Chains A and B, each alone.
Chain A
Amino acid sequence: MATGASATEEPEDEEEEEEDYSFLPLVHHIIKSMDKDSQDVHQELNELKNKFQEMRRLIGTMPGIDRSPEQQQQQLQSLREQVRTKNQLLQKYKNLCMLEIPKE
């Protein structure tokens, strides 16, 4: 379903996603600040807390994750099957010879 243009943008997005959604960089900064006894540790702890909240909000708004991948695949197959069946039915209706005039 993805177009060529979006396919070229995908790897970049994924990289960005990986950076954005990992908590390790923040934890690393906190540990470093603690090692240095820096005052920035409180600010970084707040950042970590905000990040957890932000992630919870994001997960709440993400589409299509209300079911497991298996269930989603089943529903996708079911929808594809429905479209296929309905297409066949329409084709059948269109090809019906409604008026067969008997030749004498």
Chain B
Amino acid sequence: MAASDKCSTKEKLLAFLDDLEVLTRELIEMLALSRNQKLPQPGEENQVLELLIQQDGEFQELMKLAFDQGKVHHEMQLLEKEVEKRDSDIQQLQKQLKEAEHILATAVYQAKEKLKSIEKARKGAISSEEIIKYAHRISASNAVCAPLTWVPGDPRRPYPTDLEMRSGLLGQMSNLPSNGVNGHLPGDALAAGRLPDVLTPQYPWQSSDVSVNMLPPNHSNDFMLEPPGHNKENEDDVEVMSTDSSSSSSDSD
């Protein structure tokens, strides 16, 4: 019984079919023989016939079972599709969760870095007054930003002019040749910050005072961009720059 349970329905059906074929053949042969020999052997024929009827009935039952199994198979196919769909849903969800984890980990890392820098800034705090003084100092010469009224075509800054580059510390260090190419100005005079009156650029929007302020005799020191200190000299510089800035801003008005 246990062995028959392990057999597939297909195997059982085929076995039944073989049995039925054998029984029908046997029955027909027996009937044919009995007709030819005219020897009635009803007992044996009846036995075979009964067996055939019984096998046929069992075969019918098994065929019903096979059709039922077909329906179950269809249900299983639907369930398998559902399982595949659920699997893909779960994989999609896991992928999204991984992405979210990555984004959150990055955000947490950046936030920690920010907290570190905040802590660092707290430890090495610089007074705002000091920063403002330094800002005044670097902005007074228009070295880092254009004048407020600057438009394209305006020959003033926003960029350091040839004249200013030569009069700066770098110009002094590079020991440029005295005969400038393309009509450049003599290096000595520029390096010293002293220009002949003829070569001093005169712009209609500049008063003579402003032009002098733009290139003071010690102008080269303005480009050194030293960090702000507490010495007296620096403070004086800042005051001079503030005056310069205010004068230029008043010009722009």
- Give me the interface of A with B, judged by CB distance under 8 Å: 1-2, 14, 17-18, 21-24, 27, 30-31, 34, 37, 45, 48, 52, 55-56, 59-60, 62-70, 72-73, 75-76, 79-80, 82-83, 86-87, 89-90, 93, 98
A18 touching B28, Cβ below 8 Å = no
Could you tell me the distance between the alpha carbons of A37 and B35 in the complex, rounded to whole angstroms? Answer: 9
Say which residue of A14, A62, A79 sits within 8 Å of B80 (CB atoms).
Answer: A79
Given contacts A66-B8, A68-B7, A83-B79, contact A93 B93 (CB under 8 A): yes
Q: How many A-B residue pairs have CB under 8 A?
A: 121
A69 touching B86, Cβ below 8 Å = no
In the assembled complex, the CB of A60 is this many whole angstroms from the nearest CB of chain B, namely 8
A69 neighbours in B (Cβ, 8 Å): 9, 65, 68-69
Could you tell me the distance between the alpha carbons of A10 and B68 in the complex, rounded to whole angstroms? Answer: 11
Could you tell me the distance between the alpha carbons of A9 and B5 in the complex, rounded to whole angstroms? Answer: 31
B67 interfacial contact with A, CB 8 Å = yes
- Give me the interface of B with A, judged by CB distance under 8 Å: 5-10, 13-14, 17, 20-21, 24, 27-28, 31-32, 35, 52-53, 56, 59-60, 63-76, 78-80, 82-83, 86-87, 89-90, 93, 97, 100
**Would you mind naming 6 contact pairs between A and B with Cβ atoms under 8 Å apart?**
A17-B64, A27-B28, A62-B66, A68-B7, A72-B72, A76-B72
Question: Which 6 pairs show the lowest CB-CB distances between chains A and B?
Answer: A64-B73, A86-B86, A65-B9, A79-B79, A64-B69, A65-B10
B17 touching A59, Cβ below 8 Å = yes
Given contacts A52-B21, A87-B86, contact A22 B69 (CB under 8 A): no
